[in-house]
Chains A and B, each alone.
Chain A
Amino acid sequence: MGGVLSSVLGGGGGDEAVAGNESEQSRVMKFSSSARWQLHFNEIKESSKLLVVDFSASWCGPCRMIEPAFIAMSAKFTDVEFVKLDVDELPDVAKEFNVTGMPTFVLVKNGKEIERIVGARKDELEKKVLKHRA
């Protein structure tokens, strides 16, 4: 849906992309502009779908460590939305969400933060996603 919207609005390429390689069926969405992100966030607020936001950075070792697991989770939980935001590309959004440690996973439902996990804690993340996906 977001992909269609961005091409209809004639948005420049690279504002939104699917992260990870194609063969892994990654469903992780990536936003590089605050405007695009805000648009998307406003949309998903209306639904009761669970949103998992991964705040990470290209130079953050632990972020790179958990990335394969995050991608796998996105493929597994198709009723949940997975988004990846780079704190260098979107510093204002990182600040708005009070991100200090990385990776930080924020679980959002109906526009509100319901859980937060700081650190590459794969088991804990999966547990929380399972808990809140309904």
Chain B
Amino acid sequence: MHTYIHNIQNKHKLSSSFSFHYACNHDFIGLLTRMLLLLYTLQNLSYKYHFSSTSHHYLSLLSLQTHTHTHSSALFLLQLSLFCYIPTSSSDLPMAVSGFEGFEKRLELRFFNDSITNNNPMGLRLIDFESLDQVLNEVQCTVVSAVANHSFDAYVLSESSLFVYPTKIIIKTCGTTQLLKSIRPLIHLARNVNLTLRACRYSRGSFIFPNSQPFPYTSFEDEVVIVEESLPKSFRYRKASVMTPSNSNPSRAWHVFTASADVEPDETLVVVEVCMTELDRVNARSFFRRKGDEGNSDSAGKEMTRLSGIDMINANAFICDFAFDPCGYSMNGVDGDRYSTIHVTPEDGFSYASFECGLSLYDGGHGDIAEVLARAIDVFRPGCVSIATTYNGEDYDHEVTKRVERVLAKKLGLKCRSRLMDEFPGSGTVVYQSFTPRRK
């Protein structure tokens, strides 16, 4: 729906006229109702009105003109034109004015491990659950499922995921959550278990509905200010970067802010963050609850994992899944010290899916990164994919980047449209690639 208001000059006259254009797509009945209501209101202001209709390049046009003559400057002369437009193809349908925001904000906090000993190897995992739950309350999300192994705790949240390792926390939240409010309380809770912050990383893509975000998430500069205010002043190595492909439409940039006490990254796992939009509609249907399913989110989640093929992305991983009502899906995968996580917003018009994992580039036993990515993306067959890879302590390997592009082209017909790179002190190299299907 496209609303358009022209103010036709004339401050000197007693009356002024507005032309009000209302272009809509398929909501003709609703529109007619609103028009009739408006007419009724205007009638009370004793207007004299007449109808006229003129032809237009749209399918039909109803033009309603109202005039009023009054000596009061508060009353206006209104001219209303009504356009009705019936779409002839799905590309004419506009994007939803606002829907659920799938794009996540991601926060990673890493701590010095000098207080981690054989007697006390658990670090952050010793923080009691009630305290964590309180922090999540501030962020406006809550735990819906969880699992753990010897390496880390994995929580599925109402709005994404939380991972707690002995010296590292990763929180990823979507929607309109207030993720940055968690930084100060988490640093405080860590101090209670004798852990000191070493590095912080905040990243996100570009929101589908940027205007629906609360402050400070309406502008990356504001987010950076808030993060910096929450961090120790002693963090000497800081960098903020917006990686913007020159040709993408809509522009999907990757935003990163890193800050650390050391220049050398301590993290051993490479992190890959995949964002997918315009999901294949048939594939997206798997993520809607079915009528007559048992009404249990856990078992419905398991069904979705199986039906969609998500369980085959990494057959070694244990999957903790959850199905939302009436639609939506989240899962955390646990495989040794490696995590993976998938979140799906299947609704047409703003469909979105993310896949993230921490892995080692050269450990053959866990699957080649390009194959893993191809399997994950194949679940959704998206119209648009972006991949952000953070090398951390691993040296950048250009062969890996090229292999990912080759495999996605060959197996999924996805062509790499842009590739950007940037260096972050204390956090390593970040490569940002964008893909769309190759036109046949």
Q: Which of A's residues lie within 8 Å of B, judged by CB?
A: 57, 59-66, 100-103, 118-121, 123-124, 127
On whether the beta carbons of A123 and B296 are closer than 8 Å, the reply is: yes
* CB-defined contacts of B122 to chain A, threshold 8 Å: 59
On whether the beta carbons of B298 and A61 are closer than 8 Å, the reply is: no
Could you tell me the distance in whole angstroms from the C-beta of B150 to the nearest C-beta in chain A? 8
Partner of A102, one of B145, B148, B297, B298: B148
Q: Which of B's residues lie within 8 Å of A, judged by CB?
A: 122, 125-129, 132, 143, 145-149, 153-155, 164, 294, 296-299, 318, 320, 334
Partner of B318, one of A65, A100, A120: A100
On whether the beta carbons of B125 and A59 are closer than 8 Å, the reply is: yes
Partner of A123, one of B128, B143, B148, B298: B298
Tally A-B pairs: CB < 8 A. Answer: 63
Cα distance A62–B164 in the bound complex, in angstroms = 11
Known: A61-B164, A101-B318, A127-B296. A121 touches B129 (CB 8 A): no
On whether the beta carbons of B147 and A101 are closer than 8 Å, the reply is: yes
Nearest-CB residue, chain B, relative to A104: B147
Could you tell me the distance in whole angstroms from the C-beta of A131 to the nearest C-beta in chain B? 11
Partner of B143, one of A57, A60, A65: A65
Cα distance A27–B128 in the bound complex, in angstroms = 23
Partner of A62, one of B146, B297, B298, B299: B146
On whether the beta carbons of A61 and B299 are closer than 8 Å, the reply is: no
Partner of B153, one of A60, A100, A123, A124: A60
- 9 pairs across A/B with beta carbons < 8 Å? A59-B126, A61-B125, A61-B127, A61-B132, A61-B148, A65-B143, A66-B146, A101-B334, A120-B147
Cα distance A62–B125 in the bound complex, in angstroms = 10
Partner of A124, one of B125, B164, B296: B296
Could you tell me the distance in whole angstroms from the C-beta of B111 to the nearest C-beta in chain A? 16
Known contacts A59-B122, A123-B298, then 12 further A-B pairs from the complex at CB < 8 Å, ordered by chain A residue? A59-B126, A61-B127, A61-B132, A64-B128, A101-B147, A101-B334, A102-B147, A103-B148, A118-B147, A124-B296, A124-B298, A127-B296
On whether the beta carbons of A101 and B148 are closer than 8 Å, the reply is: yes
Cα distance A9–B310 in the bound complex, in angstroms = 52
Nearest-CB residue, chain B, relative to A119: B147
Cα distance A51–B344 in the bound complex, in angstroms = 37
* CB-defined contacts of A60 to chain B, threshold 8 Å: 125, 148, 153
On whether the beta carbons of B298 and A120 are closer than 8 Å, the reply is: no
* CB-defined contacts of B320 to chain A, threshold 8 Å: 101, 118-119
Cα distance A119–B155 in the bound complex, in angstroms = 10
* CB-defined contacts of B143 to chain A, threshold 8 Å: 65
On whether the beta carbons of B148 and A63 are closer than 8 Å, the reply is: yes
Cα distance A64–B149 in the bound complex, in angstroms = 13
On whether the beta carbons of B153 and A61 are closer than 8 Å, the reply is: yes
Name which of B146, B298, B320 has the most chain A CB atoms within 10 A of its CB.
B146
Cα distance A101–B155 in the bound complex, in angstroms = 13
On whether the beta carbons of B298 and A121 are closer than 8 Å, the reply is: yes
* CB-defined contacts of A100 to chain B, threshold 8 Å: 149, 318
Nearest-CB residue, chain B, relative to A65: B129
On whether the beta carbons of B129 and A118 are closer than 8 Å, the reply is: no
Could you tell me the distance in whole angstroms from the C-beta of B280 to the nearest C-beta in chain A? 29
Cα distance A63–B146 in the bound complex, in angstroms = 9
On whether the beta carbons of B297 and A65 are closer than 8 Å, the reply is: no
On whether the beta carbons of A119 and B149 are closer than 8 Å, the reply is: no
On whether the beta carbons of B145 and A118 are closer than 8 Å, the reply is: no
Nearest-CB residue, chain A, relative to B124: A61
* CB-defined contacts of A127 to chain B, threshold 8 Å: 294, 296, 299
On whether the beta carbons of A121 and B148 are closer than 8 Å, the reply is: no
Partner of B146, one of A59, A120, A123: A120
Cα distance A64–B143 in the bound complex, in angstroms = 13
Cα distance A102–B146 in the bound complex, in angstroms = 9
Cα distance A49–B369 in the bound complex, in angstroms = 48
